[in-house]
Amino acid sequence: MTLLIILLAVLALIVLISWGKVNTFLAFLLVTLPTGFALGLPTAQVLAAVQKGLGDTLGSVALVVVLGAMLGKLVADSGAAQQIAGTLLGALGTKNIQWTLLVTGFIVGIPLFYNVGFLLVLPLIFAVVHQYRLPAVWVGLPMLAALSVLHGFLPPHPAPTALVVQFHADMGRTFGYGLLVAVPAILLAGPVYARTLRGLVSPPLASFAAAPQPAAPLPGRLNSFLSSLLPVLVLGGVLLLRAALPAGGPLAPALAPALAFLADPGVVMLLSVVVATLSLGLAQGKGRGEVMETYAAAVRDVAPILLIIGGAGALKEVLLASGASADIAAGLRGTGLPPLVLGWLIAGIIRVCLGSATVAGLTAAGVMLPTLAHSPADPNLMVLAIGAGSLLFSHVNDGGFWLFKEYFNLSVRDTLRSWSMMETIVSVVGLAGVLLLDWVLPLLGLR
């Protein structure tokens, strides 16, 4: 009976969001309250679970998500992303234009949220298309594949960050594993698959080929790269120092607390925002008010995402408080599927039904959390498996599908052939990479 209630709750969520066009946060609340009552919770306990779920989830992810949005917005507004793109174009040349744009998308995609990154790189893609008369989809798909993978797999993007917290995973280790999985997924879904689309004729609208900013006011090259990638550099440096530091050495007692402090994602993002405020803001002649307005705009952009994360946390807490977790775990274990495959599959089904990668990932996490507690699955890999599933087959119920279709001036059929297939390849290759890591890590003694 419990599994039937959960299934009906997920189905109601799908109907409210996709058919009823109800605000996603409101849909979560409308589903969570009746679900709690149906699972036998008294009114006071249902309300307490909703408040606890909202508070615990937002309290753990809001800092990273908001600071990540601020950093990404400043990277975009300051021209640092454009400087990175121009530098890579100059270094790799137009003969390697796909690879240049892919690397650019990978670098700027780390601090930028997907929607911001998508709209930021479009002028660059269309400028290249118009200047060199190249097929738009062939040029742009690798770059957008990089943005999509980072959005689904890696912190500080909202869904992976929330999943890390829910599964009590390690942010740095998840990021490192995510990079190993992301690279082959991007290569196969981007440049390799795009070869089959070179004959796809889709002249983008000329009005979308926005003129880039003049080079003079842009931040310097080194400044742009270091400011944008500082979260990665700090996390990578901490991981290397931890690996090099002898466990029982004389420096361990003194350095271990400092490294633990620096490894905290909130601290990493705060440090990165402070540095970027100086290097990409004040040092570039921007006033404090202008920089703060950039940050305020970033908070406005990310607020709906935070509410969705909070709503998913409320549903998860109701499932836990009702005692349904044991029933869910037992029912899912009865399928015989490995937990990582099951997490990917649940996220994929919800993604196909709802269209939202964020909602798919967070909802799947709430379902898989009880199972993870009773299985040997690596929580870091579970984050990546669900992240990969949340990208499966974007189609007509996904806003990203229509953004790609309209900007690239494609038919629905060609958008399915290009965009939807790219997302599906990313998802399947991501799962394969996770399963490979799950096999290799114990052999290397890393788990």
* pTM over 0.85, yes/no: no
Residues contacting 328, CB < 8 A, separation 6+: 2, 3, 6, 319, 367, 370, 371
Q: In this predicted structure, what is the pLDDT of residue 383? A: 95
Q: In this predicted structure, what is the pLDDT of residue 211? A: 47
For residues 22, 25, 31 and 33, what is the CA-based torsion angle, rounded to 10 degrees? -130
Q: In this predicted structure, what is the pLDDT of residue 327? A: 64
Q: Is the Cβ–Cβ distance between 354 and 14 less than 8 Å?
A: yes
Q: What percent of the chain has pLDDT over 90?
A: 27
What is the domain count for the chain? 1
pLDDT tens-place string over residues 290-321: 999 999 988 887 788 788 878 877 887 887 78
More confident of the two residues 149 and 64: 149
- pLDDT for residue 161 is more than 80: yes
- pLDDT for residue 172 is more than 90: no
Q: In this predicted structure, what is the pLDDT of residue 248? A: 61
Lowest-confidence region among 141-150, 191-200, 262-271? 262-271
Residue 330: CB atoms within 10 A of its CB come to 14
Q: 390 by DSSP, 3-state: which?
A: coil
More confident of the two residues 2 and 368: 368
Q: In this predicted structure, what is the pLDDT of residue 207? A: 47
pLDDT tens-place string over residues 206-246: 545 444 555 557 888 899 888 887 877 887 787 678 767 76
Q: Best-predicted range by mean pLDDT among 62-71, 141-150, 243-252?
A: 141-150
Q: Where are the alpha helices (DSSP H) in 334-420?
A: 339-354, 357-373, 379-389, 399-407, 412-415
Average pLDDT, the chain: 82
Q: Is 194 exposed, middle or buried (0-12, 13-18, 19+ CB in 10 A)?
A: buried
Residue 63: CB atoms within 10 A of its CB come to 18
What's the full length of the chain, in residues? 447
Q: What percent of the chain has pLDDT over 70?
A: 87
Helix axes 324-333 and 288-321, enclosed angle (nearest 10): 80
Reference 354, options 118, 4, 1, 16; nearest CA is: 16
As separate numbers, helices (DSSP H) first and strands (DSSP E) second, the chain gives: 21, 0
Q: Is the Cβ–Cβ distance between 4 and 39 less than 8 Å?
A: no
Q: In this predicted structure, what is the pLDDT of residue 424? A: 96
Q: Is the Cβ–Cβ distance between 172 and 238 less than 8 Å?
A: yes
Look up residue 206 and give its two tokens.
């000329």
Residue keyed to tokens 């009590």: 168
Residue 396 per-residue DSSP state: T
Q: In this predicted structure, what is the pLDDT of residue 183? A: 93
Q: Is the Cβ–Cβ distance between 272 and 71 less than 8 Å?
A: yes
Q: In this predicted structure, what is the pLDDT of residue 403? A: 74
Local confidence band at 372 (pLDDT 50, 70, 90 cut-offs): confident
More confident of the two residues 26 and 218: 26
Question: Which residues span the domain enclosing 120?
Answer: 2-443
Q: Is the Cβ–Cβ distance between 378 and 334 less than 8 Å?
A: no
